[in-house]
Amino acid sequence: MSLIFAAKLYNMTNRTFTMIKPDATEKGNTGGILQMINKAGFRIVAMKMTHLSKEKAGEFYAVHKERPFYGELVEFMSRGPITAAILEKENAVEDFRKLIGATNPANAEEGTIRKAYATSIGENAVHGSDSNENAAIEGDFFFSKLEQF
Ligand code: ATP
Ligand code: MG
């Protein structure tokens, strides 16, 4: 295996993408969430605060286009600023999904970010990629190669 390919594979399987959603930004929970992320052993390798337009929010969640909650989701995600970040850790995608907890905070386990900060199934504080492939696509949606450390 070439060194370049090995490095690429390493990045794909050890990185995930997250967003701190507008509800968490509004409530001043950005710092608390970042602290939970760091304490769980994730290293921040890219980060920015930005405000998604409806068009960009719709594009990011395009896989949910046919779902009944899509309109509500786009409205919510474009309501205010978000913090986007790429996180690095061994087994990043799976471990981060465990750290954020269930989509519906009513089902989220103690110690998870959604248990601590989410208020409803729609306004659930954080996003986490669901596969290595999507982690790479979503990271590239927000960050150029020069911004991924
Ligand atoms: P995310 O992709 O944001 O990490 P998830 O993977 O846990 O969340 P998905 O099924 O991908 O959950 O749904 C994407 C987002 O759409 C949810 O996080 C939530 O904000 C919103 N959503 C999902 N289901 C509902 C619903 N039934 N009603 C309202 N909003 C919903
Ligand atoms: Mg999802």
User: Which residues are CB-neighbours of 19 under 8 A, at least 6 positions away?
Assistant: 82, 83, 84, 85, 126, 127
What is the sign, positive or negative, of the torsion defined by CA atoms of 6, 133, 54, 79? negative
**Three-class DSSP category at 8:** helix
Per-residue pLDDT at 7:
64
Report the pLDDT value the prediction gives residue 13, as an integer from 0 to 100: 76
Domain range for 74: 3-147
CATH code of 57's domain: 3.30.70.141
65 alpha carbon, distance to own chain's centre: 19
Distance 95 CA to ligand 1 centre (A): 18
Please give the distance, rounded to the nearest whole angstrom, from the Cα atom of residue 124 to the centre of ligand 1: 8
Nearest CA residue ID for atom 10, ligand 1: 103
pLDDT score for 2 = 75
Q: What is the pTM of this model?
A: 0.94
Distance 130 CA to ligand 1 centre (A): 11
| Residue 94 contacts residue 18 (beta carbons within 8 Å) | no
Q: Is 70 in the pocket of ligand 1 (CB under 6 A)?
A: no
Ligand 1 near 134 CB (within 6 A): no
Per residue of the chain (149 residues), give pLDDT as tens.
Answer: 676 666 666 666 799 999 999 999 999 999 999 999 999 999 999 999 999 999 999 999 999 999 999 999 999 999 999 999 999 999 999 999 999 999 999 999 999 999 999 999 999 999 999 999 999 999 999 999 999 99
Task: For 36-105, give the DSSP string.
Answer: HHHHTT-EEEEEEEE---HHHHHHHTGGGTTSTTHHHHHHHHTSS-EEEEEEE-TTHHHHHHHHH--SSG
Q: What is the pLDDT of residue 120?
A: 98
Number of structural domains in the chain: 1
Our answer on whether the CB atom of 73 is closer than 6 Å to any ligand 1 atom is yes
Q: For 124-139, how does the pLDDT look when each residue is reduced to its tens digit (9 = 90+)? A: 999 999 999 999 999 9
- Quick check: CB of 149 below 6 Å from ligand 1? no
